[in-house]
């Protein structure tokens, strides 16, 4: 049998490659060919991992801490995560039974979905939504149900809006706050609306809180698991990538009731065994160590947020509200009369600025682009100049 004759499962055939990775690689190829491309695609802090975290990993490796560890994660890190969740989020979890350390937040999300979704279960995904939620559900045999939130209401979530998308087959709702790609931070009213719906329909909540630390203008993150009666039906997913500039370390975690963890740990053990031992030692000092570098990074991101949102909003045909959290501007480009993929293509080929078309985040998002502002202010200013020049030619 030749490779061309192979057939693959429908759950694999139904998904495509990550558009974010594809566009980032395209930008990289253009750079390698000598073109001056400004890459605003990938959601990765441009800061280095703080040195005290790096030194902890170095010390662990030098001490020979380079072998397999418990699939749940080292006890020291699970205890630090439990203390963080209790002190910062008002959430009590047993570090021995209700926390698992994972290979980044994405693996926590995927393993949880595999462990809790039956073939044919429906999962509500609130668009605009991160590009990997839909494929994760499909690969688990579930059915993603996209709920198109309205930009005219600043993507507001209400019980009345969600209700029509429920069915007898609905099993889960995926939440993400602060949101990728919109930068919205869910309000307490919105969280209570989702909680009410989950209680009424007996739904699981998968709460992706990876951008929790990246909030601006004095806002505070609230986890839905902290609401009365929601802990029993919520899986909290978080990690170290965004807050501590540790994307390449692949270190995340999930916290949930013991029964959910018992199911998830089976998937975790049979797929990855455990997160890297020395990276886990670094995670301990990240949580327990000084947070001043994190605070300085957030302050710089807020300044960059101001720069890019104001700059985009000043370009005729583009409207960009000031985002509340995360690393992304999500401007409305509908007045330009081009689909998002076409505009992103023109900005890359004619302006040398790599962005992500809104259509990647849901079929209802074609009137937007996502631009990551995790790069220097000087680079953002150059990008804005190029975008303005390219848009003036449309």
Summarised one tens digit per residue, pLDDT across range 295-333 is 999 999 999 999 999 999 999 999 999 999 999 999 999
Helix axis angle, 51-62 to 277-288, nearest 10°: 140
User: In 3D, which of 41, 84, 50, 42 has the Cα closest to residue 249?
Assistant: 50
Question: 92 exposed, middle or buried (CB, 10 Å; 0-12, 13-18, 19+)?
Answer: exposed
pLDDT at residue 372, as a whole number: 97
Q: Which CATH architecture has domain 51-288?
A: 3-Layer(aba) Sandwich (3.40)
Cis amide prior to 128 (ω within 30 degrees): yes
Query: Quick one: what percent of the chain has pLDDT higher than 70?
Result: 98
Cβ neighbour number for residue 148 with a 10 Å cutoff: 15
Alpha-carbon span 262 to 264, nearest angstrom: 6
Average pLDDT, the chain: 94
Can you name the CATH fold of 3-48+292-392? 3.90.1150
Indicate whether 4 pLDDT > 70.
Answer: no
Query: Rounded distance, CA 51 to CA 66, Å?
Result: 20
Q: Is the pLDDT of residue 5 over 90?
A: no
Average pLDDT on 138-156 reads 95
**d(C-alpha 375, C-alpha 313), whole Å:** 19
Asked if 127 and 361 count as a contact pair (C-beta separation under 8 A), the reply is yes
pLDDT attached to residue 14: 77
Q: What element of type H or E holds 86?
A: helix 75-89
CA-nearest of 386, 370, 393 to 183 is 370
Q: Mean pLDDT, to the nearest integer, of 89-118? A: 98
Question: What confidence score (pLDDT) does residue 9 get?
Answer: 80
> How many Å apart are CA 263 and CA 12, to the nearest integer?
23
**pLDDT value for 28:** 76
The phi, psi pair for 156, rounded to 5°, reads -65, 140
Q: What is the Rg, in whole angstroms, of the alpha carbon atoms belonging to the chain?
A: 21
Q: When comparing pLDDT for 327 and 13, which is higher?
A: 327
- Per residue in 209-218, pLDDT (tens digit) is 999 999 999 9
Q: What is the pLDDT of residue 2?
A: 58
* Structure confidence at residue 103 (pLDDT): 97
- Whole-number pLDDT of residue 3: 58
Give the residue extent of every domain in the chain.
3-48+292-392, 51-288
């Amino acid at each position: 049998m030749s490779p061309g004759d192979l057939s693959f499962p429908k759950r694999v055939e139904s998904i495509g490659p990550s558009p974010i990775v594809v566009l980032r690689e395209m930008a990289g190829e253009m750079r390698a060919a000598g073109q001056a491309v400004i890459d605003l695609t990938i959601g990765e802090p441009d800061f280095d991992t703080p040195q005290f975290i790096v030194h902890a990993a170095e010390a662990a490796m030098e001490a020979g801490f380079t072998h397999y560890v418990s699939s749940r994660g080292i006890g020291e890190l699970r205890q630090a995560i439990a203390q963080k969740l209790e002190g910062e989020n008002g959430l009590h979890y047993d570090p021995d039974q209700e926390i698992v350390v994972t290979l980044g937040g994405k693996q926590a999300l995927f393993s949880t979905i595999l462990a809790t979704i039956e073939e044919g279960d429906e999962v509500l995904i609130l668009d605009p939504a991160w590009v990997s939620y839909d494929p994760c559900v499909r690969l688990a045999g579930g059915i993603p149900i996209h709920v198109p939130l309205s930009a005219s209401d600043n993507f507001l979530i209400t019980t009345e809006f969600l209700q029509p998308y429920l069915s007898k087959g609905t099993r889960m709702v995926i939440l993400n706050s602060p949101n990728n790609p919109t930068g919205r931070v869910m309000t307490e009213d919105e969280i209570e609306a989702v909680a009410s719906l989950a209680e009424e329909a007996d739904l699981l909540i998968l709460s992706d809180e990876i951008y929790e630390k990246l909030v601006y203008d004095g806002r505070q993150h609230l986890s839905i698991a902290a609401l009365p009666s929601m802990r029993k039906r919520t899986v909290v997913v978080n990690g170290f990538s965004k807050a501590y500039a540790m994307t390449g370390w692949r270190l995340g975690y999930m916290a949930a009731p013991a029964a959910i963890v018992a199911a998830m740990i089976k998937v975790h053990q049979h797929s990855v065994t455990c997160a890297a031992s020395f990276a886990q030692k670094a995670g301990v000092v990240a949580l327990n160590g000084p947070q001043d570098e994190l605070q300085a990074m957030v302050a710089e991101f807020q300044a960059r947020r101001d720069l890019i949102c104001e700059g985009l909003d000043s370009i005729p045909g583009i409207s960009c509200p000031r985002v509340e959290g995360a690393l992304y501007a999500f401007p409305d480009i509908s007045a330009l009369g081009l689909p998002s993929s076409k505009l992103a293509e023109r900005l890359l080929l004619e302006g040398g600025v790599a962005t992500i078309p809104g259509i990647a985040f849901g079929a209802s998002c074609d009137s937007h682009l996502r631009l990551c502002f995790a790069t220097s202010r000087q680079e953002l200013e150059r990008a804005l100049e190029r975008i303005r020049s390219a848009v003036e030619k449309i």
